């Protein structure tokens, strides 16, 4: 065999090595890259989960210059590829915990940050609300959507006005029933006034209870139930409560998106643009009208939502939102999806002002068109005045924290309710009574009342009050009771006049004749009064005691000629005969 040269052998080995390197390098390179990526995550699954829970639950520091949440800042640092900023956020949040996670901050990599962002993602629920009330709200939302698209031409504000008109029309039977109840109550006003006049001037508890019982008996006899007027209100309250959520949350009940999507949109809008959110910052937490307005006016909304890093199914959420039909919230050049802001004045501020005026006039007209109780004291009048101002002011305050569309709906609803009450007041007016009607009611109450049933006593006769408060209720004692009442009133007037006359100095006919006194005279009078009081407290001397002894010999003559007493005698108290001491 010919000998192989050494140079040829070395060349063959080199060629075989290059061929093997070319065949093996791609697989080896892939394995190396995979090993490098896996080695980039230095945190264990348990550490990732604990850190993710801590960062997701951390709140923003309202006192700091940067008011974003730690999750917002971490996501923004990850999207910008800023590892030191991300590590600083993690360190600040973790060290603030009572039991921080033990990690090496210097060993953290961008792979760790990416793993944290991924583990904090949540899945948005796409299920629509269920339940009895949800079915009613979805049906009302479908009606509002139809009114908006068909009658309002796609304008949500016009749809709200028509919706309020339709709801008021559906409530009309209850309003008519309430007006009939008011007419019935007003027709009993003369009799109630007669009963109250019958017990006028008696402030004891027994008399007040008896008066209340007699008024209730009169109501039952006339077929009137004081609580029947509350029935329409009790029926309207749940309806208003249901419709409130329909109006304030159009994303769920009008656009038919899930409550999970509504919550996800709120998070997306409030998240900063650096973290992938919209960065708009909602000015209200009540409802989604403002969000719906932003979706309608922002063409980049759907694209940004599909790439949002907070949700694992952001693309699915963006697709559902893109398929919904959002109405137009602009009306007369104003965006009613925004919240009126007094620090940034614009024409939307007219909504709170109009709401206050409409609510104030509505309460005034309602009180004028509604019969008031016969007993109206000063405290009740003060309470009514507070309500007349307080409730409209509260309505105006609400208009500053909710979108203008909701304030517009509230204002239109008050206008329609007031208009319906005015129409009913013309068609079904309350009865008006003259002085003769009140006198006839008094005669019926005081004279035409039959003896009421009473518990019989041991002798078989009805038990009557010892205070004579029920003497007017019985035929055999009514005349004497009225006569006794007249005597008592005359006695009280005479006694009051005599007491007033004693306080006036001699020569004064009335209080208008009292002369003006100077400060010196007043102080001098007080000094004399104190001196006379001191003299009265001095002990009597034996000589004074002897002088002060009564004259027993002239006692009989003194008793036969007593001094004149001008004090009027109480006609109901018999005079006691004086007994001579033995």
**HEC-encoded secondary structure of 210-245:** HHHHHHHHHHHHHCCCHHHHHHHHHHHHHHHHHHHH
Strongest mean pLDDT among 83-87, 392-396, 462-466, 544-548: 83-87
Task: Confirm whether 96 is domain-assigned.
Answer: yes
Q: Quick one: average pLDDT of 513-534?
A: 55
Between CA 214 and CA 449 the distance in angstroms is: 11
Between CA 430 and CA 179 the distance in angstroms is: 9
Is residue 554 very low, low, confident or very high in pLDDT (cuts 50, 70, 90)? Answer: very low
Exposed/middle/buried for 262, CB within 10 Å: 0-12, 13-18, 19+? buried
Same-domain status, 113 and 140: no
Same-domain status, 237 and 333: yes
Report in angstroms the alpha-carbon separations of 148 from 128, 362, 378, 511.
22, 27, 49, 74
Same-domain status, 494 and 395: no
pLDDT for the residue 294? 84
Between CA 424 and CA 369 the distance in angstroms is: 10
Q: Quick one: average pLDDT of 311-340?
A: 88
**N residues, the chain:** 582
Same-domain status, 154 and 250: yes
Under 8 Å between Cβ of 126 and 320: yes
Other Cβ atoms less than 10 A from the Cβ of 372: the count is 13
Between CA 446 and CA 178 the distance in angstroms is: 31
Task: Confirm whether 158 is domain-assigned.
Answer: yes
3-class secondary structure, 175: helix
Q: Quick one: average pLDDT of 290-317?
A: 88
Task: Confirm whether 133 is domain-assigned.
Answer: yes
Q: What is this structure's pTM?
A: 0.60
Same-domain status, 111 and 129: no
What domain range is 489 assigned to? 471-501
Task: Confirm whether 32 is domain-assigned.
Answer: no
Is residue 4 very low, low, confident or very high in pLDDT (cuts 50, 70, 90)? Answer: very low
Pairwise pLDDT comparison (524 vs 302), residue with the higher score: 302
Phi, psi of 420 (to 5 degrees): -65, -40
Same-domain status, 404 and 482: no
pLDDT for the residue 316? 93
Query: Nearest 5°: CA angle at 286, between 280 and 287?
Result: 80
The structure tokens listed for 390 are 């307080």
pLDDT for the residue 292? 85
Under 8 Å between Cβ of 196 and 373: no
Between CA 379 and CA 373 the distance in angstroms is: 13
Same-domain status, 331 and 351: yes
Same-domain status, 179 and 252: yes
Pairwise pLDDT comparison (401 vs 462), residue with the higher score: 401
Same-domain status, 352 and 400: yes
pLDDT for the residue 548? 44
pLDDT for the residue 214? 86
Task: Confirm whether 15 is domain-assigned.
Answer: no
Task: Confirm whether 496 is domain-assigned.
Answer: yes
Q: Which residue bears the tokens 């919230």?
A: 329
Same-domain status, 484 and 363: no
Exposed/middle/buried for 506, CB within 10 Å: 0-12, 13-18, 19+? exposed
Q: Quick one: average pLDDT of 325-334?
A: 86
Between CA 207 and CA 462 the distance in angstroms is: 19
The structure tokens listed for 243 are 């419709």
Under 8 Å between Cβ of 176 and 168: no
**Number of domains the chain is built from:** 3
Is residue 124 very low, low, confident or very high in pLDDT (cuts 50, 70, 90)? Answer: very high
pLDDT for the residue 532? 53
Report percent pLDDT > 70 for the chain.
Answer: 71
Same-domain status, 112 and 129: no
Phi, psi of 334 (to 5 degrees): -115, 140
- Residue in 343, 331, 333, 324 with CA at minimum distance from that of residue 407: 331
Is residue 63 very low, low, confident or very high in pLDDT (cuts 50, 70, 90)? Answer: confident
Is residue 158 very low, low, confident or very high in pLDDT (cuts 50, 70, 90)? Answer: very high
The last residue of a domain, from among 71, 104, 119 = 119
Phi, psi of 449 (to 5 degrees): -85, 130
The structure tokens listed for 225 are 């139930």
Report percent pLDDT > 90 for the chain.
Answer: 17
Same-domain status, 102 and 241: no
Task: Confirm whether 335 is domain-assigned.
Answer: yes
The DSSP 8-state label assigned to residue 202 in this structure reads: -
Task: Confirm whether 461 is domain-assigned.
Answer: no
């Amino acid at each position: 065999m010919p000998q192989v040269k050494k140079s040829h052998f070395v060349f063959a080995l080199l060629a075989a090595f290059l061929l093997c390197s070319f065949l093996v390098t791609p697989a080896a390179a892939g394995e190396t890259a995979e090993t490098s990526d896996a080695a980039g995550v230095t945190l264990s699954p348990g550490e990732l989960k604990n850190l993710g829970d801590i960062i997701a639950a951390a709140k923003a520091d309202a006192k700091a210059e940067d008011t974003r949440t730690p999750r917002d800042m971490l996501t923004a640092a990850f999207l910008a590829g800023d590892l030191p900023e991300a590590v600083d956020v993690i360190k600040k949040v973790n060290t603030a915990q009572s039991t921080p996670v033990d990690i090496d901050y210097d060993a953290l990599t961008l792979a760790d940050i990416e793993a944290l962002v991924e583990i904090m993602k949540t899945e948005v629920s796409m299920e629509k609300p269920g339940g009895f009330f949800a079915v009613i709200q979805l049906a009302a939302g479908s009606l509002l959507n139809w009114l908006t698209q068909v009658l309002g031409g796609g304008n949500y504000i016009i749809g709200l006005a028509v919706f309020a008109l339709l709801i008021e029309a559906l409530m009309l039977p209850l309003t008519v029933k309430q007006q009939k109840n008011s007419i019935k109550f007003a027709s009993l006003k003369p009799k109630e006034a007669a009963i109250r006049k019958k017990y006028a001037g008696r402030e004891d508890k027994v008399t007040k209870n008896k008066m209340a019982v007699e008024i209730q008996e009169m109501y039952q006899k006339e077929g009137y139930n004081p609580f029947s007027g509350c029935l329409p209100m009790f029926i309207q309250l749940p309806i208003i409560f249901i419709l409130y959520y329909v109006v304030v949350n159009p994303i769920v009940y009008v656009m038919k998106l899930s409550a999970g999507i509504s919550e996800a949109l709120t998070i997306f809008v409030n998240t900063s643009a650096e973290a992938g959110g919209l960065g708009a910052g909602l000015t209200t937490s009540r409802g989604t009208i403002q969000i719906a307005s932003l979706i309608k006016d922002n063409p980049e909304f759907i694209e940004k939502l599909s790439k949002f890093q907070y949700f694992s199914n952001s693309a699915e959420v963006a697709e559902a939102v893109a398929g919904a039909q959002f109405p137009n919230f602009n009306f007369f050049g104003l965006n009613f999806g925004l919240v009126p802001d007094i620090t940034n004045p614009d024409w939307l501020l007219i909504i709170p002002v109009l709401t206050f005026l409409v609510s104030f006039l509505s309460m005034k007209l309602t009180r004028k068109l509604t019969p008031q109780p016969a007993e109206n004291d000063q405290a009740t009048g003060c309470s009514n005045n507070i309500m007349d101002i307080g409730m409209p002011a509260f309505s105006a305050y609400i208009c500053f924290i909710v979108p203008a569309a909701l304030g517009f709906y509230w204002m239109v609803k008050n206008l329609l309710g007031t208009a319906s009450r005015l129409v009913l007041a013309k068609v079904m007016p309350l009865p008006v009574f003259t002085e003769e009607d009140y006198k006839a009611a008094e005669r019926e109450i005081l004279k035409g009342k039959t003896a009421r049933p009473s518990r019989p006593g041991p002798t078989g006769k009805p038990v009557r009050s010892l205070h004579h408060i029920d003497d007017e209720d019985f035929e055999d004692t009514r005349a004497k009771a009225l006569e006794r009442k007249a005597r008592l009133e005359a006695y009280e007037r005479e006694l009051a006049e005599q007491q007033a006359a004693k306080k006036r100095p001699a020569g004064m006919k009335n209080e208008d004749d009292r002369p003006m006194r100077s400060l010196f005279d007043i102080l001098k009078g007080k000094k004399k009064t104190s001196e006379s009081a001191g003299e009265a407290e001095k002990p009597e001397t034996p000589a004074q005691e002897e002088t002060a002894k009564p004259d027993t010999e002239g006692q009989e003559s003194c008793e036969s000629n007593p001094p004149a007493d001008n004090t009027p005698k109480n006609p109901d108290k018999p005079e006691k005969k004086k007994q001579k001491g033995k």
